[in-house]
């Protein structure tokens, strides 16, 4: 993000750090003070909220090109979720004091941060709609699309090995582990996926995306008609 705004690399080099996190390693906890911005370069990160519950709720997975820590604009200045490396990951970290100064002076950076917030709001709206109205089949299709997007799946490649289990997939989908396993088996029979354990050799992303977004498209069409 910083390079795209033409900033002199030498200026922010003292405030820029690269960190590597092993699979399962904690990056920060919900409620920690935000002390900088994290830019994911490689790997996959799991974001969870715990609040007062004993079992954390998985919000989503994020991958290369996505950020954490931009909630420094909130009134609390605290991390809203816990971030954990799902697989070995490399992160570029920019110290908050420097980033705030850059943010205040750079309108392009301000616009980029606003876009991140808008994308998060939209993702939350879609997730709420999915929880309320999607069938289990549509929910599992949506999680497979989410995994394909996060892991940058290419149909011409060798597939992807995801580092989350069926229980975590169920939490992302808002259903049970048993239902996830059943729907995955159905999708394989329909040749929408090919998998063994956590290795997905083939994912028919376009067909699954069409299935997952069917309910969202119907609601948006209805809202447009009402407007």
Convert the pLDDT of each residue in 14-65 to its tens digit.
899 999 999 999 999 999 999 999 999 999 999 998 866 667 788 889 999 9
pLDDT band at 219 (very low <50, low <70, confident <90, very high): very low
156: region left, alpha or beta (phi > 0 left; psi from -120 to 50 alpha): alpha
CATH of 134-219, one of 1.10.3720.10, 3.30.70.2190, 1.10.10.10, 1.10.510.10: 1.10.10.10
Average pLDDT over residues 106-127: 86
Lowest mean pLDDT segment, chosen from 4-8, 64-68, 157-161? 4-8
The CATH number of the structural domain formed by 3-114 is: 2.60.120.10
Indicate if the pLDDT at residue 93 is higher than 70: yes
* Predicted pLDDT at 84: 96
pLDDT band at 218 (very low <50, low <70, confident <90, very high): very low
What percentage of residues in the chain have a pLDDT greater than 90? 51
132 vs 77: CA distance, rounded Å: 31
Q: Where are the domains of the chain?
A: 3-114, 134-219
- On whether the CB atoms of residues 98 and 176 are closer than 8 A, the answer is no
What percentage of residues in the chain have a pLDDT greater than 70? 88
Indicate if the pLDDT at residue 67 is higher than 80: yes
Structure tokens at 98: 């420097």
* Predicted pLDDT at 136: 92
Indicate if the pLDDT at residue 66 is higher than 50: yes
Lowest mean pLDDT segment, chosen from 2-16, 115-129, 162-176? 2-16
List CB contacts of 6: < 8 A, sequence separation 6 or more: none
- Dump pLDDT digits (tens) for 141-166: 999 999 999 998 987 778 899 989 99
* Predicted pLDDT at 54: 66
Tally the residues of the chain. 227
CA angle in degrees (0–180, nearest 5) for 108-109-110: 90
171 vs 59: CA distance, rounded Å: 9
126 vs 84: CA distance, rounded Å: 24
Indicate if the pLDDT at residue 188 is higher than 60: yes
201 vs 208: CA distance, rounded Å: 15
Q: Could you tell me the pTM of the whole model? A: 0.81
């Amino acid at each position: 993000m910083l390079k795209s705004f033409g900033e002199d690399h030498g200026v922010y080099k003292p405030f820029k750090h690269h960190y590597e996190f092993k699979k399962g390693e904690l990056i920060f906890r919900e409620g920690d003070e935000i002390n900088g911005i994290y830019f994911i370069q490689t790997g996959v990160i799991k974001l969870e909220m715990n609040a007062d519950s004993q079992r954390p709720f998985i919000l989503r997975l994020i991958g290369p090109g996505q950020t954490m820590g931009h909630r420094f604009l909130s009134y609390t200045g605290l991390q809203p979720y816990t971030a954990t490396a799902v697989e070995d990951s490399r992160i570029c970290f920019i110290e908050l004091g420097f980033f705030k100064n850059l943010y205040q002076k750079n309108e392009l950076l301000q616009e980029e941060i606003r876009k991140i917030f808008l994308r998060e709001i939209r993702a939350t709206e879609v997730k709420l709609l999915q929880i309320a109205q999607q069938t289990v089949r549509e929910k599992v299709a949506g999680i497979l699309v989410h995994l394909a997007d996060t892991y940058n799946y290419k149909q011409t490649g060798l597939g992807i090995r995801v580092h989350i289990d069926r229980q975590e997939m169920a939490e992302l989908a808002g259903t049970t582990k048993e239902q996830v396993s059943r729907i995955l088996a159905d999708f394989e029979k329909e040749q929408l996926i090919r998998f063994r354990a956590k290795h997905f050799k083939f994912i028919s992303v376009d067909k699954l995306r069409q299935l997952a977004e069917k309910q969202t498209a119907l609601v948006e069409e209805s809202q447009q008609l009402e407007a």
